[in-house]
Structure 1
Amino acid sequence: MAAAVSAARLCRLAGRNLSSLSVRHRQAVSLPARRCYICASTGNNLQFRLDERTAHSSLDLFKKDTGVIYRMLGMDPSHVPDNPERFREWAVVFGDGKISSGRHYWEVTVKKSQEFRVGVAEAQMSREDCVGTNISSWVFGYAQRKWFAMTRNKMVPVTLVGKPERVGILVDYEAGLLMLVDVEKPRIIHTLRAQFKAPLCPAFGLWDGELLTHSGLEEPEGLK
């Protein structure tokens, strides 16, 4: 897979909801100052749940909001509470934890999915964008039986044999690093380098199957 892909092909890989029919320039939006994350951690044991207020109408949260299932039909968007925090065009949901310093680790179990993204995004990221397509989000994704790292709408192949059911995500805020972790070894598979300047949230995109988060974990020993 090339480092950058055409806009037409990326429309699918970016995971846009099937009901969306056009691509237009995205502007950042100003979200309410009253955003209310239940967990803000500066240690290594970030614990979070998925924030229903941000979830696209095709995503159904379960297991006390630690898991999410993609439903193709989903809910009628008009029946979902209207608020500026919700993703309405992309099948994305944020975690309710906020990261502004430190080193943090969590794991994700993915079942029956052939297209998903896991990573971080700025808490104030525009809800008009999909994670990985702007300068405010950094993700690792799986699509077309291949792994990739993505930010700024550019995709870089990640060499990984097979598709593990469970992977780890390690964030080092000060160092500007997002790492994909093989939980079996454990070892770092790939590292995305960034300059984090604003509070981050765990971020997830899902276009089939289900995803379960495991937070509040210690970082595995031996990771650099």
Structure 2
Amino acid sequence: MALPVTAARVCRLAGRTVTSPSGRHRRAVSLPTRRCYISASTGNNLHFKLDERTAHSSLDLFKKDTGVIYRMLGLDPSHVLDNPERFRDWAVVFGDEKISSGRHYWEVTVKKSQEFRVGVAEALMSRDDCVGTNSSSWVFGYAQRKWFAMTSNKLVPVTLVGKPDRVGVLLDYEAGFLGLVDVEKPRIIHTIRAEFKGPLCPAFGLWDGELLTHSGLEEPEGLK
């Protein structure tokens, strides 16, 4: 994936060695306490915000539509703009970009949430359903202190994952898989296999707390 030299770096604690593209000669730079991603304004990196037009009335968007917070009472549905794209019965919101090809990676920071779902769904998925309950959506969920993978209303337990703080999502459209990524290793913890046939959107369900999305990230090295 080609990236401009002027791309801005985004770094977090982790421990890693990267190659610096600056200057006339490439050289290895040891970063014993940090991991770096490259956030680019161009290229194939998926950039998205949350689409307010799809958000259930119990969900409020914030931080320039990159975060979502659950409100127990929510808004009076009669005060929410009537939109056929809006989820009516479930606390779900989609990202505002459609994916029809390629390999894409994004992360989600979890704040005070004990029940949520992250993944992808067909852009034309029924707004009367919840993500994970039909054959048009593929998600990783967290509830009752346990992780699971879910599609067509079938749950598969996901082990070796602790209480969430920040997780990654890796989508390969052509290869037909969606991966849950441990961002600290980094490694793929669990994979959902599927045959994607239509445009997909990043999808999120939230029943308490907050989620903050991070798009425009390059895939960490070493993921298969």
- TM-score interval, smaller chain: 0.7 to 0.9
User: Given that residues 168 and 180 in structure 1 are in contact (C-alpha distance below 8 angstroms), is that contact kept between their aligned partners in structure 2?
Assistant: yes
2:98 partner SS: strand
Structure 1 CA distance for aligned equivalents of residues 64 and 88 of structure 2: 22
1:20-169, aligned counterparts within 5 Å?
44-169=44-169
Give the CA deviation at 1:160: 2.5
Amino acid at match of 1:67: G
Aligned length: 182
User: Given that residues 44 and 219 in structure 1 are in contact (C-alpha distance below 8 angstroms), is that contact kept between their aligned partners in structure 2?
Assistant: no
User: Given that residues 44 and 105 in structure 1 are in contact (C-alpha distance below 8 angstroms), is that contact kept between their aligned partners in structure 2?
Assistant: no
Structure 1 CA distance for aligned equivalents of residues 208 and 76 of structure 2: 18
Amino acid at match of 2:126: S
Give the CA deviation at 1:163: 1.2
Amino acid at match of 2:129: D
- What is the percentage of aligned positions where both structures have the same residue? 90
Structure 2 CA distance for aligned equivalents of residues 161 and 76 of structure 1: 37
Give the CA deviation at 1:223: 0.3
Give the CA deviation at 1:198: 0.1
User: Given that residues 141 and 150 in structure 2 are in contact (C-alpha distance below 8 angstroms), is that contact kept between their aligned partners in structure 1?
Assistant: yes
User: Given that residues 147 and 160 in structure 1 are in contact (C-alpha distance below 8 angstroms), is that contact kept between their aligned partners in structure 2?
Assistant: no
Structure 1 CA distance for aligned equivalents of residues 223 and 210 of structure 2: 28
TM-score, normalised to structure 1's length?
Answer: 0.80
1:171 is matched with 171
Give the CA deviation at 1:124: 0.4
Structure 2 CA distance for aligned equivalents of residues 97 and 165 of structure 1: 24
Q: Please list the CA deviations of residues 75-130 of structure 1 after superposition, one character each: whole Å capped at 9, or x if unmatched.
A: 00000000110001000000001100000000000110100000000000000000
User: Given that residues 58 and 74 in structure 2 are in contact (C-alpha distance below 8 angstroms), is that contact kept between their aligned partners in structure 1?
Assistant: yes
User: Given that residues 147 and 161 in structure 2 are in contact (C-alpha distance below 8 angstroms), is that contact kept between their aligned partners in structure 1?
Assistant: no
User: Given that residues 169 and 181 in structure 2 are in contact (C-alpha distance below 8 angstroms), is that contact kept between their aligned partners in structure 1?
Assistant: yes
Q: Please list the CA deviations of residues 53-79 of structure 1 after superposition, one character each: whole Å capped at 9, or x if unmatched.
A: 000000000000000000000000000
Quote the RMSD (CA, aligned, Å). Answer: 0.7
User: Given that residues 177 and 193 in structure 2 are in contact (C-alpha distance below 8 angstroms), is that contact kept between their aligned partners in structure 1?
Assistant: yes
Give the CA deviation at 1:165: 0.3
Structure 1 CA distance for aligned equivalents of residues 85 and 101 of structure 2: 23
1:141 partner SS: strand
User: Given that residues 105 and 171 in structure 1 are in contact (C-alpha distance below 8 angstroms), is that contact kept between their aligned partners in structure 2?
Assistant: yes
Which consecutive residues of structure 1, in runs of 5 or more, have no partner in the other structure? 1-42
Give the CA deviation at 1:164: 2.7
Compare relative contact order (CA 8 Å, sep 6+) and give the higher one, 1 or 2: 1
Q: Which has the larger radius of gyration?
A: 2
Counterpart check, 1:209 vs 2:199: no
Give the CA deviation at 1:162: 1.6
